[in-house]
Each structure stands twice: as structure tokens, then as C-alpha cells.
Chain A
Amino acid sequence: MLQKKICMLGAPAVGKTSLISRYVRQIFSDTYLSTIGVKIDEKDVFTGNQHIKLLIWDLFGTTDPLNLPDSYLRGMAGYILVADGTRSETLEMARNIKSGIDELRGELPFIVAINKHDLDAEWQIAPEDIDTLTGMGWEIVITSAKSGAGVETLFQQLAGKTVELAA
């Protein structure tokens, strides 16, 4: 068994906490309880024949990683950048966060989740936007914490990346 620490990063209210609670507990709630500080969850994942225990650090929403205490980011093996598909600026913020992390911790495995896909009437992200990002080498998963779509893939992929890198 390998333990891997990963972090959920993204602007406030994009659904970081909701994605985790969908993934770990199969629960979704419409109530918004903003995360203060950090909450840690764990989940066992299997990729290939490797057993990984993901320690998922759910951080408070911020657009600037410099706001986060050191130890929250220290030692993470990878991270998930969450954006809200109904607010395209949160995707811009994800870029900021990414460059902040690169500066603070160097390049690490990461995946972008564009969340709330169930709200298709309000969806603001054009396929071209996503193409631009994938063109930059970003890996993107469209998710909905509400319906559960994409959530499993999201964490599974990142888990895979963290061991790839270590191997």
C-alpha cells in the first residue's frame, strides 16, 4: 500500500468539498458550507495492481496559493484544480493557481475538474476553451458532484499520475 497526499485547489464555492463527499461518501448536498482551514479525507484506490490510500486535503477556496499555510501544500503528490463551469472566470483563476503552485512547489501532477456540469443551462465553457487548455497539456475532466459524473475518473486519473511519477 502506498499513501499519497493530494490537495483540492480552486476558487471558493466551485465544489471542491462536494466532489470529495461525492467520491468518498456518495453524498451530495445543495447547502453551501464554505470550508475553513482544511479538512482531510481518505479513500482507497487501486490502479494497476497498486493499492493507493489517497489522503485528500480539502483546502479553503482561494485564488492565490500564497494564502495557504505551507504545510497544506507541502509533500503533496499531486492536486486537483477545480473550476465551476457556470462561472468561466473560475477557470481563469485555476490558471493563476497553477502558476502559483508551480512557483511554490514546482511542477506536480494535476488534473482540472470543470464542475457543475449538471447545470447545463448556465454552462459557460465553450469546447474551444477546453481545447486551448488541453493544447497546453492540461488534463481536463468535466464533472458533476451532483450527478456523480466524472468524479470517479477524476480521482482515479490523478492517483494513477502520482504513482507514474514516482516509478
Chain B
Amino acid sequence: MANRSHPGEIIQGVLRQARIEVTNRNEQDELRKLRDLLLKEEQSELDQLKSQLNSLELSSEELSEILPEAILISNRKNNRLKEALAPSTIEAIRAIIRQDPKYFSDAIYPVMGPAIRKSVLNSLRSMVESINEVLANSLSLRGLQWRWQAMRTGKSFAEVALVNSLLYRVEQVFLIHRETGLLLKNVVAPRIEMEHPEMVSGMLTAIQDFVRDSFGPNTQGTLEKLQVGELNVWIEQGPRAYLAAVIRGNAPHDLRIVLQNTLERIHLDHGHSMKAFSGDATPFEATRQMLASCLLVQTSTPRKKKPYLAWGGLGLIGTLMLGWLGFVGWQNWQWDSYLENLNNAPGLVITRTDTENGKQVLYGLRDPLAPPAASYVGNSGVDPDDIVERLEPYLSFSPQFVTARARQFLNAPESISFSYANGTLFLHGRASNEWLESARDAAAFIPGVSAINEEGMIASESSRMMDLKIEIEKTTIRFSRGRLLLDGQEELVQEIVTKLNGLEQLAKKTGKTTRINILGHSDSIGSERINNNISRQRAEFVQNMLKLRGITSENIVISGLGTQRLSEFAEDNTEANRRVTFEVIIE
């Protein structure tokens, strides 16, 4: 039972992380680290390599460009590099970002908020239905085949059944610029027609925000999957661009990895052009081949023949027998599916398992913020009491942990949400300038965070100031024919005072200045001179009222506009025009 996690798999994961680091952060550091690892383990091979490189007269700069590519190629060919790197990489695992095993958000229709929620239910329901359908087949001939396969491979029956029913095709792939939502490149499968791919790109971008808004700022992840009629759209996020694959049918999870790899490659090769992109997509023509490699198809259900047919022939008796035989493999299978849960659990790395006094011992790493391994038993059937955890603490750089740490560390208000990618912590939402400033300083101390991005932040002060400005400017103080206030206007003046005080406080906090124009107006009865006078007197009157109530700012300017701005609400140019209004300028 020992050593359930295949080292090759772990290394593959680690390498993928390493590549992301190299790719996206573009830091020489990581390259150096990798080179060091190579040096340690494969001295002779490296010497050979070196002399080859020297004879080609490659500079280290050129090498740094070739190395990631070389690793990619080597990975594709065989496992030798992974195996060579294995021992030291496991040691280094703490230092390397572990990617989020992206969780799938459910299929979603891009309609209104409530409709979205409803459709999530619908698609879940139909998924359950299709599984039920498969299970209904479980006593059929096919069902027997699948059951047998499940037993042999240690996978769950439902999983095998689904895999066997799988039939899918990737019909279109879009590469979309994150910042602008503009299309960088798209490819389509043969005989598929595509209309307005540029528009679709924009819509996909808008939908993502829409979904985030509809599910509230606490939806941590990003939209990964949505359903449009009978098509599924899978979205793979990258720092500068994302991929959207339009799929007919049920694609296997492996497709996700193909998309990930492709997107990483594209970032590696074209990261710079993506940064500089301002509407000219020609540099991205070069991504055609890479994108086309995602246009995968699975055309037929694999059919197993004779031996299973024989089993099927045994009918019901066969089922009973299988049931009994199955019991032997049952516990194995339970354990396997539990370990698979763990493998997918963020913040947990299981490197080795062992048995001790009839208990299963897990070795590896666990982020203190991650739930204990025993909590992942789910419905695998494994008894949590049979598990002993020997997990060392480590800091996972999965987005959900980095963001959870950030929330704790920065003492973030509810109104802020975080996301994290490639060393950058993104802040979204509203917060006071005060908080933001302290967050800026403190963020550098959060493990895994090398930069923060506050583009998504709205200083709550500024928006509050804007609101106050609008409220003040909406207020009209009404006068009698002379300089006297109409009934109820004093209260309005008092409200203005409160608002001006609020504005002043916010201005102080944000380092802005406010200027107030008090504008007097008059009706159009009488001569212009009189009207100008009276309107000015009205403005003065209000200014005095403000003064008496403590508003003594020097930034108040009064003017009498006479009839220059007759109110558009006034029907007869009289009453409604005898008024004072305000303008607020925030600088």
C-alpha cells in the first residue's frame, strides 16, 4: 500500500509550476534554480550539454531562452528529465508555487442574475439525470463491462460509465485579450462556421464580470465553464489573456490540461505582445498552430470485445459473482478514491502513504489553512479514524490560500475581495484610503505576494464625495419674491450644512480640495438689473446662513445669475425660478 502517489505525477505537477514561474514571472531566478538542480543531479550530462552548447557558441542569455523550451520538449518525449529532477525537486517543493487545481464553477447561462442561479440548478439536475441514466444501465451488458472495468482500474463505476459515454469535439478556440476583451486569435474545426468571433470575445469577457457580480464579490474563482445551448464553453484564465474553448459533448478533464499548457506556451512566446496590444492582432497569427492543437475530437466509444461479452453472457449470476469478487477490490478502491480526493485538495501534498498498526499513515505537507486530510473522506467510505496524518506545515501558494492569508493579514473589510495570480495580489472593491495605504505596505509581507494590483479598487471616499456632490447639486433653496426663504427651506439649508461638513472631512482625508459655487437665480419678471441684484442677494443670504452654521470655508464663491439659467422645471418662469442652487467642484 506504500507510496501511492506516483513520483512522476508529483514531478510533473512541480515542473508545471516551475514552468509557470519561468513563463509568467519571467524571472531569471527560477531559471537559475532549475539550472542548479540540473547541475547537482546530472553533472556529467550537463558537462556534455555545456560543451555542446559552447560549440554552438550559445550565450547564457540564449540558453535562458532555450531552456524552458527544452524542458517542454523533453517532457513531451519521456519522463527522464522528470525522474532526474525528482529527488531534489521534492525538497524544493515548498519554494515552488503549487497551482490551484481549479475548481469548476457550474454551467451557467448568460442571462440575468436569478436566471443564472436557476440555470445552475437546471444543469446540475440534468447532469444528475444523465448519471442516473447511466446507472440505470448498470445491469445491462454494457453496465457489466463498465463494472468490471471499474474494478480493474480502481475507478468509481460512475466515472468509468461517464468516460465510456464520452463523445466530444472542440469546435472553436478563442484567445482573448484580458484587458480589452478583444480577440487575439481564433481557430475553428473543419466545417464549422463562425460568425463574429470578435463580438463573441467581448461578450465572453462581459459575462465573466456579470457572473462575478451576480454571485457576489465572495465568489473567489473565475468563470471556468459555461453552457450555451448544447455547447459548453471552457475558459482557461491566464494573466494577460484567456482561452475559451467551445465544446460539443462531454470533454474529459485532461482537456483542461491541454488548454492550460497551450495558454502557458502562448504567454511564454507572446507575453510581450499581449502587454503592448492595442488592437492590432497580427502578431498573434503565429498562435494558430498552438490553438489548433486544442481542437481535439473523440469520435467513437471504445468497444471492448470478447472477454466481457462472455461475462455479460452470464447475466444475473455474473452480476452476483462480480459483486462478490468486487468486494475484495472494494477497500482498495475506496482508498484510491480517497487519495484522489486528497490529490485534488488544495493546500495538501501527499508524498507517501504507509500502513502502521492497521492504520493508514499519510506523509506530506499541509497548509495550516487547509482542512485536515481526514475531512476529505467524503463518501469514499474510508473511516477517518483509520487515518494518521504526518503532514509538515507549508505555505501553499494556491490562490485561495494566498487570498485567505491576505484577508487575515491585511484585516480586510467585507467590501474587499481578493484574487491572486502569478505573484500578484489583486484587490477589488471599496475601502478607505487609510486601509488601502496600510495594505500597500503590509502586502509585501504576505508569502507569495510580490506585487499588488489595485486597479479594481474604488476608494470609498471618492465615491462618497461624488455622491455628496450630486446630492448637494440636486438641492434647490426656494425664495419668496424677495429675499425671504419659503417655508421648509431652512431644513434644506441645514441638510446642505451637514453634507458640506461631510464633504470637507472626506476632502481632508483624500487630500482633495472642494470649491462651492452658490448660485442665485431670479424669475424673469422685472428688469435685468433688479433680477441680477436680487439673485445675488439670495446667494449672499444663503452664504450667510451657512456661515452662521459654521461653514466658513474660503472656497465659497457666490454669484447672481439673474435669469441666465431659468429652471427647466418651471412652467411659468416664476416661483420655481426664485431659488439658490449649488455647484461643487472637487479637485
| Residues of A in contact with B (beta carbons under 8 Å apart) | 1-5, 36-38, 40-42, 52-53, 55, 57, 63-64, 66, 69-72, 74-77, 87-89, 96, 100, 103-104, 124, 166
B183 within 8 A of A: yes
B209 near A71: Cβ-Cβ < 8 Å: yes
Identity of the chain B residue whose Cβ is nearest the Cβ of A76 in the assembled complex: B180
Of residues 199 to 233 in B, which have CB atoms within 8 Å of A's CB atoms?
A: 199, 202-203, 205-206, 208-210, 212-213
Give the complex CA separation of A57 and B199 in angstroms.
10
Q: Are A40 and B206 in contact (CB under 8 A)?
A: yes
How far apart are the CA atoms of A99 and B428 in the complex, in Å?
A: 21
Pair B182/A96 contact, Cβ less than 8 Å: no
Q: Is B75 an interface residue (CB 8 A)?
A: no
Q: Given the interface contacts A3-B182, A5-B181, A103-B462, does A72 sit within 8 Å of B206 by beta carbon?
A: yes
**Bound complex: CA A75 to CA B281 (Å):** 15
Would you give the 0/1 interface string for B101-112, flagging 1 where the beta carbon is closer than 8 Å to chain A? 000000000001
Q: Which residues of A contact B193 (CB under 8 A)?
A: none
Complex CA distance for A86 and B568, rounded to whole angstroms:
10
Q: Is B179 within 8 A of A75, CB to CB?
A: yes
Report yes or no: B182 in contact with A100, Cβ–Cβ below 8 A.
Answer: no
Known interface pairs A5-B182, A74-B180. Does A89 touch B568 (Cβ–Cβ under 8 Å)?
A: yes
Between A and B, 30 residue pairs with Cβ closer than 8 Å are A3-B183, A3-B198, A5-B180, A37-B112, A37-B210, A40-B199, A42-B196, A52-B279, A57-B202, A63-B470, A66-B463, A69-B209, A69-B212, A70-B209, A70-B455, A71-B206, A71-B208, A74-B180, A74-B181, A75-B177, A75-B179, A75-B182, A76-B180, A77-B180, A77-B278, A77-B279, A87-B568, A89-B568, A96-B466, A166-B279
Beta-carbon nearest neighbor of B428 in chain A: A70
Q: Give Cα distance in the complex from A75 to B205, angstroms.
A: 11
Restricting to B161-216, which residues have a CB under 8 Å from any CB of A? 177, 179-183, 196, 198-199, 202-203, 205-206, 208-210, 212-213
Q: A-side binding surface: helix, strand, loop or mixed?
A: mixed
> Chain B residues with Cβ under 8 A from A124's Cβ?
568
The one of B198, B202, B280, B470 in contact with A96, judged by C-beta atoms closer than 8 angstroms, is B470
Instruction: Report B-chain residues with C-beta under 8 Å of the C-beta of A41.
Output: 199
Identify which of residues 298-345 in chain B touch chain A, using a CB-to-CB cut-off of 8 Å. Answer: none
Residues of the B chain whose Cβ atoms lie less than 8 Å from the Cβ of A4: 279
CB neighbors of A among B244-298 (8 A): 278-281
A48 to chain B: closest CB distance in Å? 15
User: What per-residue 1/0 map shows which CB atoms of B454-488 lie under 8 Å from chain A?
Assistant: 01101000110010001000000000000000000
Q: Are B213 and A69 in contact (CB under 8 A)?
A: yes
**Total B residues in contact with A, Cβ cutoff 8 Å:** 32
Q: Are A40 and B202 in contact (CB under 8 A)?
A: yes
Q: Cβ of B183: which chain A residues have Cβ within 8 Å of it?
A: 3
CB distance from A113 to the nearest CB of B (A): 20
List, in ascending order, chain B residues with CB within 8 A of A75's CB.
177, 179-182
Q: Which residue of B lies closest to A67 (CB)?
A: B463
**Distance from B474 Cβ to chain A, minimum over Cβ atoms (Å):** 10
Whole-angstrom distance between the Cβ of B228 and the nearest chain A Cβ = 15
B281 cross-chain contacts in A, Cβ below 8 A: 1, 3
Which among A2, A55, A66, A87 is the interface contact of B466 at CB below 8 angstroms?
Answer: A66
Q: Is the CB of B568 within 8 A of A55?
A: no
Q: Is the CB of A36 within 8 A of B182?
A: no
List, in ascending order, chain B residues with CB within 8 A of A38's CB. Answer: 206, 210
- The answer to whether B182 and A55 touch across the interface, beta carbons within 8 angstroms, is yes
CA distance A4 to B206 in the complex (A): 16
Q: What is the distance, in angstroms, from B199's C-beta to the closest C-beta of chain A?
A: 5
Most buried by B among A1, A64, A75, A100: A75
CA distance A115 to B458 in the complex (A): 31
Cα–Cα distance between A56 and B180 once the two chains are bound (Å): 12
- Chain B positions within 8 Å of A52 at CB level: 279
> When the two chains form their complex, are residues A72 and B209 in contact, meaning their CB atoms are under 8 A apart?
yes
User: In the complex, which residue of chain A has the Cβ closest to the Cβ of B177?
Assistant: A75
B343 to nearest A CB, angstroms? 34
B278 x A166 contact (CB < 8 A): yes
The 8 closest A-B CB pairs, nearest first, are: A75-B180, A71-B209, A2-B279, A40-B202, A75-B179, A69-B209, A3-B182, A3-B279
A63 CA to B208 CA, complexed, in Å:
24
> In the complex, A74 Cα to B428 Cα: how many Å?
14
> Which residues of chain A are within 8 angstroms of B210 by Cβ–Cβ distance?
37-38, 69
Considering the chains assembled together, what is the distance between the CA atoms of A52 and B181 in angstroms?
16
Nearest CB of chain A from residue B558's CB, rounded to whole Å: 20
Q: How far is the CB of A128 from chain B (nearest CB, A)?
A: 9
Assembled-state Cα–Cα distance A66/B459 (Å): 11
- Separation in Å of the B443 CB from the closest CB of chain A? 20
**A78 vs B179: C-alpha distance in the bound complex, in angstroms?**
14
Contacts of A104 in B (CB 8 A): 458
A42-B198, A88-B568 are known contacts; what are 4 more A-B pairs with Cβ within 8 Å? A1-B280, A36-B112, A55-B202, A96-B470
Complex formed: what's the CA distance from A36 to B214 in Å? Answer: 13
| A71 and B208 alpha carbons, distance in the complex (Å) | 9
Bound: A87/B199 CA distance, A = 33
Minimum CB–CB distance from A97 to chain B (whole Å) comes to 11
| A71 shortest CB reach to chain B, Å | 4
- Please give the distance in Å from A67's CB to the nearest CB on chain B: 10
Task: Tell me the minimal C-beta distance from A78 to chain B in angstroms.
Answer: 11
In the complex, chain A residues whose CB is within 8 Å of the CB of B212 = 69
**Contact indicator per residue, chain B 154-166, by CB within 8 Å of chain A (1) or not (0):** 0000000000000
- Chain B residue contacts of A66, Cβ below 8 A: 458, 463, 466
- Contact A2 B205, beta carbon cutoff 8 Å: no
Q: Is the CB of B278 within 8 A of A5?
A: no
Task: Quote the shortest CB–CB distance from A45 to chain B (angstroms).
Answer: 12
A71 to B202, CA, bound (A): 10
For A37, A42, A166, the residue with the greatest tally of chain B CB atoms inside 10 Å of its CB is A37
**Residue from A3, A55, A100 with most neighbouring chain B CB atoms (10 Å):** A3
Residues of A contacting B455 in the complex (Cβ-Cβ under 8 angstroms): 70
